[in-house]
Amino acid sequence: MSDPDPEENRKSGIAYAAGLSLFMSVAFMCGLGWLLDRWLGTSPWLLVAGVVVGAIAGFYQFVRLTSKLS
């Protein structure tokens, strides 16, 4: 059995962090939009805005982190 490659471990960690960052950004902003919709009675507009803003922020983080893979 060979020893684990530190560079391979670093790259897989960055890829995992990028995917998790994308998911968490969308989930957090979706939840925040849903809560604000319930509080302000603006359903579903802030939920939709939260998903869009979360996706934009998540993709930005995803690209920023995955650019470190090369």
Domain that holds residue 56: 16-69
**Is 27 contained in some domain?**
yes
- Whether the predicted pLDDT of 1 surpasses 90: no
6 — pLDDT class (breaks 50, 70, 90): confident
In Å, how far are 6, 62, 70 from 11, measured between CA atoms?
Answer: 9, 13, 9
Q: What is the pTM of this model?
A: 0.86
**Is 9 contained in some domain?**
no
Domain count, the chain: 1
**What integer pLDDT is reported at residue 69 of this predicted model?**
81
- For 7-61, write each residue's pLDDT tens digit: 898 999 999 999 999 999 999 999 999 999 999 999 999 999 999 999 999 999 9
